[in-house]
Structure 1
Amino acid sequence: MDAEAWDERYRSTDLIWSAGPNQFVEAELSDLPVGRAVDLAAGEGRNAIWLARQGWQVTAVDFSQVALDKGREIAGDLPVQWVCADATTWRKDASYDVSVLAYLQLPAAERRAAHRNAFAALRPGGTLLVLAHDSTNLAEGVGGPQDPEVLLTADDVLADLDGTSYDVVRAERVAREVAQADGGSRTAYDALVRVVRRA
């Protein structure tokens, strides 16, 4: 889907994603000292807004202006800079303490560009957190894209960062419970990668 299609999707409902942060974003980043963060493919800004509420100075990047406008309205006076740009082409100097990429599901070449841009934006010692629907979710889990071309594993993320210098904190498949209409839940499987850029 292109930016125009996403604009239309974001116009069609109040919020596409939940108002609160992704559970893994909250769990993985809560222990870090606050600084500067970038949320690439931020959508309506749920993770960016949560980071800002924790005291971070946040840049939220998405190619849907409609999504960013919704996020800006929700954020109010929180310290979030809203930038309309594509995560595969957006580039910044190494000045961020955290880069987040959550559920940006793209074919391999575009995915690699986004991962490398997110990593390049980090200062030495900065943390990259990538979350995505895992390849195994197609057969074993629930929800998420049904196109295997845009699913990935933690190893795929690390391969995308080939030639860069980092320490791995976590790189694994994780389970996430998804509420169902009948009141029960089913398990979705995500790839979670957390690395720290070396000096």
Structure 2
Amino acid sequence: MGGTSGMDSTGWDERYAAVDLVWGAEPNRWLAAEAAGLAPGRALDLAAGEGRNAIWLARRGWDVTAVDFSGVAVERGRRLAGSEPVDIAGRITWKVADVRQEVGPAGAYSLVCVVYLHLVADERRRAVRHAANAVAPGGVLLVVGHDTTNLTEGIGGPQDPRVLFTPDDILADLNAEANGPVADWVVERAERVRRPVRTADGETRDAIDALVRVRRSR
């Protein structure tokens, strides 16, 4: 997904239809690093786009539910999974749905990832609460996105400050009453991280991302 609430699924369908791969084929670097040491189980990939992270997880033995509100992106992800040299198609369930709504059974997933989903604060909070609700006891919730400081200190990403966030914003979302007490979560990482980006003129600059990894304690 990765857009603002002002762009509906039709807008994202058009964006995905315009190019081969909007986000590329490689998994997000933070998802790959944070999930590398986890034992494969059930994963929920919210705002999955064309499935680059879902496919990476499935290659490593995860059973993944990949959710995006763009039907074009979901269909492309399904085709990409089917073209893998190793049969992983059966490990991924593709679903067209709005991640601002409940999209997975409560407490069912050992990993829930939300990677570059950018919404205005109240919609983001709703999506994070739904994501958190899907995490099983002992499971991990991973949220990654363009940090608020990226607008002035980094490069790329949305230019609307209303849809950017900080690690503290995500922790506050988790502390919302609808999701239970914050003690249910052990904070394993909550920090700004720098991601090198090659610019059009060949230089390398850092984008600044917010990364939050929490584990459900019960």
- Who is 1:110 aligned against? 123
2:98 to 63, 86, 97: 86
CA–CA distance in 2 between the matches of 1:145 and 1:180? 16
Map residues 66-81 of structure 1 onto 2, 5 A cutoff.
Answer: 66-76=72-82, 77-78=87-88, 79-81=91-93
2:29 to 10, 23, 32: 23
Runs of at least 4 residues of structure 1 off by over 3 A? none
- Who is 1:98 aligned against? 111
Is 1:168 the equivalent of 2:168?
Answer: no
1:132 to 128, 132, 145: 145
- Who is 2:178 aligned against? none
TM-score by length of 1: 0.98
Q: Aligned to 1:51, what secondary structure does the other structure show?
A: helix
CA–CA distance in 2 between the matches of 1:178 and 1:29? 22
Which residue identity lines up with residue 65 of structure 1 in the other structure?
A: G
2:65 to 59, 63, 69: 59
Work out the number of aligned pairs and report it. 199
Task: List runs of 5+ in structure 2 lacking aligned partners.
Answer: 1-6, 176-180
Which residue identity lines up with residue 129 of structure 1 in the other structure?
A: L
CA–CA distance in 2 between the matches of 1:59 and 1:32? 17
Task: List runs of 5+ in structure 1 lacking aligned partners.
Answer: none
CA–CA distance in 2 between the matches of 1:186 and 1:90? 37
- Who is 2:3 aligned against? none
- Superposed CA deviations along residues 88-132 of structure 1, whole A, max 9, x for unmatched, are 103322110000000000000110011111110011000000001
Give the aligned CA root-mean-square deviation in angstroms.
Answer: 0.8
CA–CA distance in 1 between the matches of 2:194 and 2:99? 26
Percent of residue pairs bearing the same amino acid type:
57
- Superposed CA deviations along residues 24-60 of structure 1, whole A, max 9, x for unmatched, are 0000110000000000000001111100011100000
- Superposed CA deviations along residues 117-153 of structure 1, whole A, max 9, x for unmatched, are 1110011000000001000000000000000000000
Map residues 33-52 of structure 1 onto 2, 5 A cutoff.
Answer: 33-52=39-58
CA–CA distance in 1 between the matches of 2:108 and 2:118? 25
Q: Cα offset for 1:180?
A: 1.5
Q: Cα offset for 1:2?
A: 0.4
CA–CA distance in 2 between the matches of 1:122 and 1:152? 21
- Superposed CA deviations along residues 42-95 of structure 1, whole A, max 9, x for unmatched, are 000111110001110000000000000010000114211000001110332211
CA–CA distance in 2 between the matches of 1:191 and 1:6? 23
CA–CA distance in 2 between the matches of 1:107 and 1:177? 26
Q: Aligned to 2:151, what secondary structure does the other structure show?
A: helix
TM-score by length of 2: 0.90
